[in-house]
Amino acid sequence: MTVFPLTGEHLALDLLNTRPTVGDLIADPAGLAAWLEAEAGRVGPVGEVGPDEVAAVRVVREAAGSALAAVRRGERPPGDALRALNAALAGAPAHRELVWGEGGGLAAVALRDAAPGRRLAAELAEAVADLLAGPRVAEVRECEAHDCALLFLPANPRRRWCVASACGNRARVARHYAKRKESP
Q: Is residue 47 part of a domain?
A: yes
Q: Is residue 21 part of a domain?
A: yes
pTM of the model: 0.85
Residue 172: predicted pLDDT: 64
Q: What is the pLDDT of residues 99-139, one digit of tens each?
A: 998 888 998 888 888 889 999 999 999 999 999 999 999 99
Our separate counts of H helices and E strands in the chain read 6, 4
Q: Is residue 109 part of a domain?
A: yes
Asked if pLDDT for residue 183 goes beyond 90, the answer is no
- In the chain, which ranges are E strands? 94-100, 106-112, 141-142, 151-152
Neighbours of 121 (CB within 10 A): 30
What is the distance, to the nearest Å, from the Cα of residue 161 to the centroid of all Cα atoms in its chain? 16
Residue pair 145/167 in contact by the 8 Å Cβ criterion? yes
Rg (CA), the chain: 19
Q: Output the domain CATH number for residue 122.
A: 1.10.3300.10
Residue 135: give the domain boundaries: 11-142
Q: Is residue 91 part of a domain?
A: yes
Residue pair 63/15 in contact by the 8 Å Cβ criterion? no
Q: Is residue 180 part of a domain?
A: no
How many angstroms separate the first and last alpha carbons of the chain? Answer: 46
Average the pLDDT over 134-148 and give the result. 92
What is the domain count for the chain? Answer: 1
- What DSSP designation does 95 have? E
Q: Is residue 157 part of a domain?
A: no
HSE (CB half, 13 Å, CA atoms) of 64? 32
Shortest CA distance to 125 belongs to which of 8, 15, 5? 15
The H or E element that residue 71 is part of is: helix 51-72
Q: Is residue 179 part of a domain?
A: no
Q: Is residue 18 part of a domain?
A: yes
Q: What is the pLDDT of residues 29-47, one digit of tens each?
A: 999 999 999 999 899 888 8
